[in-house]
Amino acid sequence: MQIQISNPAYLPTKWGDFTIQSFKENEKEHLCVFKNKPKNTLNLRIHSECLTGDALRSLKCDCGEQLDFSLQYMQKYGGMIIYLRQEGRGIGLFNKVNAYALQDKGLDTIEANHQLGFKADERSYEIVEFILKHYGITQINLLSNNPEKLNFLNEKIVLRIPIIITPNRFNTQYLSIKQSQMGHLL
């Protein structure tokens, strides 16, 4: 794995002041957003890119709200968000839009992915190991409801911090499928 690391830079946001640093893995440019110096034990959120949720504030998913929750949490308690550029659970933006079109016709999130020839979730978290090693982090408090992330980082997790989001009328089905079929701890 060939990875380039940018210089750290200051980033003021609506939620407070952070430091950012980018990790470039081939064409994928990931971002670490942190409050205070990374330390043991680190409060950590691993957030996968969701353009529609994070930037357009879509109500179809809970990504934007999870990101806001995480930024506010880090502002208050310190910690890091690793923002991974794996849009649409790893299928990319173009395919995600096609999946949304199938959802408009009544398919659920998993059925739509399957119809397009993808797994329900195509994301991977290998780069996370590299990033944690780079900062010398061996123990984390993970902000997540996702069992795959919990399994992947199992050995390093001291505590799980749940992210609690209030459903809206557009994402109720999305959230219930996450819970019932993908094992999310909601």
The least distance separating Zn ion from the CB of residue 165, rounded to whole angstroms, comes to: 11
Rounded least distance, CB 56 to Zn ion, Å: 10
Q: Which of 42, 44, 63, 67 binds Zn ion (CB under 5 A)?
A: 63
Using CB under 5 A, pick the residue from 44, 50, 128, 153 that binds Zn ion: 50
Annotated catalytic residue: which of 85, 108, 123, 160?
Answer: 123
Among 61, 132, 163, 165, binds Zn ion (CB under 5 A): 61
Q: Is 123 a catalytic residue?
A: yes
For residue 152, CA distances in Å to 17, 99, 112, 127 come to 30, 26, 26, 12
DSSP string, 58-92: -SSSSHHHHHHHHHHHHHHH-EEEEEE--TGGGT-
Q: What angle do CA 53, 161, 186 make, to 5 degrees?
A: 60
Minimum CB distance to Zn ion smaller for 43 or for 66: 66
Of 125, 163, 124, 166, nearest to 141 by C-alpha is 163
Active site residues: 121, 123
Q: Which residues contact Zn ion (rule: CB under 5 A)?
A: 50, 53, 61, 63
